[in-house]
């Protein structure tokens, strides 16, 4: 028996593998990591769209900031007028300087032929229509109508300055166009 062929039972492991089918299975293989780079083409398109929108928004903000430069300068000059008034307390000088400032701002934004010849009530109505308000035709701001021609002028500078600041910040051509459409 020494030379007897080895029986399957005699070699350890062979018979066990034949009888146990689970022993032939390999271990679980984990899938490879999903690559995040380079992104799919759709993400590239989305990124390009976002960058384009951001650049357009930045361009729009810069254009708007540049277009409103005259407003910032006018508000600064308005503050200077008040400062000068606080030194001298001359209402008539303040009123005349304010009229000139408002007229220059209006000529910057609106057509010359619509603004240059306006005086008195027509000027005050223009100021009101261009903001869609009644800040100049009602209250202390009525001094803009004929205040420069009165000897006994006494005006509320704070109220007038507030109305002028509001007009400088909020005047728009569209308000004037809407007022003209309503009148027609």
Bond prior to 38 in cis (omega within 30° of 0): yes
Predicted local confidence at residue 98, as pLDDT: 94
State yes or no: pLDDT of 64 exceeds 80: yes
CB atoms within 10 A of CB 106: 22
Of residues 109 and 137, the one with the higher pLDDT is 109
Residue 62's alpha-carbon distances to 48, 76, 108, in angstroms, are 21, 20, 19
- E-only strand ranges, 6-86: none
Token representation of residue 18:
């034949």
- The answer to whether the beta carbons of residues 70 and 105 sit under 8 Å apart is yes
pLDDT in tens, 12-59: 555 555 677 777 788 888 888 888 888 889 999 999 999 999 999 999
pLDDT of 10 over the 60 cut: no
Tell me the average pLDDT of the chain.
85
The model's pTM is: 0.71
Structure tokens at 57: 């928004």
User: What's residue 106's pLDDT?
Assistant: 95
The reported pLDDT for the residue numbered 87 is 95
Start-to-end CA distance of the chain, whole Å, equals: 126
CB-based burial of residue 127 (10 Å sphere; 0-12 exposed, 13-18 middle, 19+ buried)? buried
């Amino acid at each position: 028996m020494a030379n007897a062929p080895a029986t399957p039972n005699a070699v350890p492991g062979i018979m066990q593998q034949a009888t146990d089918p689970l022993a032939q299975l390999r271990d679980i293989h984990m899938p490879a990591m999903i690559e995040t780079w380079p992104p799919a083409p759709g993400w590239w398109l989305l990124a390009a769209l976002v960058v384009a929108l951001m650049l357009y928004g930045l361009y729009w903000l810069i254009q708007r900031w540049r277009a409103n430069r005259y407003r910032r300068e006018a508000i600064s000059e308005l503050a200077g007028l008040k400062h000068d008034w606080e030194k001298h307390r001359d209402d008539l000088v303040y009123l005349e300087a304010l009229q000139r400032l408002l007229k220059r701002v209006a000529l910057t934004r609106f057509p010359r032929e619509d603004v240059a010849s306006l005086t008195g009530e027509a000027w005050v109505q223009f100021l009101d229509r261009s903001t869609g308000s009644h800040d100049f035709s009602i209250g202390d701001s009525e001094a803009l109508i004929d205040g420069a021609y009165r000897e006994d002028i006494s005006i509320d500078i704070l109220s007038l300055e507030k109305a002028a600041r509001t007009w400088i910040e909020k005047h728009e051509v569209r308000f004037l166009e809407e007022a003209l459409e309503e009148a027609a």
